[in-house]
Amino acid sequence: MKNLTMIFAALTLATASFATLAATEVTQAPANSQKIGVISATSSNDLSSLERNLNAKADEAGASSFRIVSASGENHLYGTAELYK
């Protein structure tokens, strides 16, 4: 029973740490932040999936936040975002 409690605690802490490392979307450049780059992504579904793709790329780049600056297309969506640290 003690091992089960330890495993549950370890899984909870591991999940919490991943959530804090994820980039967050912002509507304007955060104060006291540094722009570290621009990314682009595509999606064939909808704006929500385009946002998820941009968020995943921002996480891969190590950004703490990102701001979507453009999104366009009809059947195939294209978007760009600025990354901030």
Radius of gyration (C-alpha) of the chain in whole angstroms: 17
Report the chain's mean pLDDT, rounded to a whole number.
81
Each domain of the chain, given as residue ranges in start order, spans: 23-84
Q: Which CATH architecture has domain 23-84?
A: 2-Layer Sandwich (3.30)
Q: Residue 18: what pLDDT?
A: 45
Q: What mean pLDDT is predicted for residues 35-46?
A: 93
The predicted-structure confidence for 42-54, as pLDDT tens digits, reads as follows: 998 889 999 999 9
Q: List the one residue out of 49, 84, 48, 40 whose CA is nearest residue 66.
A: 84
The predicted-structure confidence for 6-20, as pLDDT tens digits, reads as follows: 555 555 545 444 444
DSSP tag of 1: -
Distance of CA 8 to the CA centre of its chain: 26
Q: Residue 7: what pLDDT?
A: 57
Q: What mean pLDDT is predicted for residues 44-67?
A: 93
Cα–Cα distance for residue pair 44/49, rounded to 1 Å: 8
Amino acid at 78: Y
